[in-house]
Amino acid sequence: TRSLAVFFVWLFGFSWTAILQTFLRPRLKCIDGELCLITGAGGALGRLFALEFAKEGAHLVLWDCNAAANEQTARLVRELGVRVHTYTVDLSKRQSIYETANRVRTEVGHVSILVNNAGVVAGRRLLDCPDELLERTLLVNCHALFWMTKAFLPRMKEQNHGHIVTVASALGLFSTACVEDYCASKFGAVGFHESLTHELIAEDLNGIKTTLVCPYIVDTGMFAGCEIRKELRSIIPPLEPLYTVQQSMKAILAEQQMICIPRLMYIPFLARALLPWEANVATYRFMGGDKCMLPFIKNIEMKTSNGHTKLC
């Protein structure tokens, strides 16, 4: 029928546009003067995001549960001449988020760019992991996205202007063994982000953009010890934090809906959907995915026994 033909033409057009945007240099938007809130700003990625947004002229609101690390990020940002405000927030507590969001609106203004970057992992085998650590991973990595969005999206809707960035993970697109809490939380983050994006499109709020960031393992120490098959480590090494953030920033400023870093991560994402389960398992085991997290978990266990584990 004619309507079906129009649909396929429309589908092809959007697909081709997306491919071109991926490989060609798109026009980047100006965010000078925008108010950007970054969670997990005291960590490696959060600090780099803060510096990159500052270079683009955005004013910053930095959230982290580690006040000292957050202030260190703020000092680096202020050296660039950018206005910055810091808040100590426990993202696992809904009330803490809502109360701090009210303070931000009163003391600073209305957030127009929200970067949900904070993330944690328990680093324990499922049956050995205390329930409170499992819950914390889900609260920080997934539930907090709901609360952050409910706190700051209403004003974006009023103005039909804003940008919501979800820093998820490649492990939100396909899974691996022994990090059930992290994979579940990141799958939830991806699902939340996609559903929210569909809602904004359905409401014709084309002034509110969303970007989903799905990086491979980033060399921040969060997954220290994680190793895939030896022969493949040079092909898929852990990502440099600065490279990860710079690629993410390009996608954000280009208003790209989703980015996998590196692009090679699109392959297992597509394979998971297209290949039989058995074929995916065989590939996964060949790459060493079934055992890659065991050295990481052993590192966490050693730190725990030495009293070095941090909750925040």
Q: How many CB atoms lie within 10 A of CB 131?
A: 7
Distance CA 98, CA 100 (A): 6
Number of helices (H) and strands (E), helices first, in the chain? Answer: 11, 7
Spell out the alpha helix ranges (H) of the chain: 2-23, 44-55, 67-78, 94-107, 131-138, 144-159, 180-202, 241-253, 266-274, 277-286, 294-305
Kindly state the DSSP code that residue 37 receives in the 8-state scheme: E
Quote the radius of gyration of the chain (alpha carbons, Å): 20
Query: What angle (nearest 5°) sits at the alpha carbon of residue 94, between those of residues 92 and 100?
Result: 100
Q: Which residues contact 291 (CB under 8 A, 6 or more apart)?
A: 177
Cα 252 to Cα 28, 31, 130, 200, 229, distances in angstroms:
8, 10, 37, 17, 32
Closest CA to 167 of 227, 226, 91, 244: 244
From residue 86, give the alpha-carbon distance in Å to each of 38, 57, 101, 210, 312.
10, 17, 12, 24, 16
Q: Which residues are catalytic?
A: 182
Q: Which residues contact 232 (CB under 8 A, 6 or more apart)?
A: 287, 288
160, 115 contact by CB (below 8 A): no
CA distance 168 to 146: 14
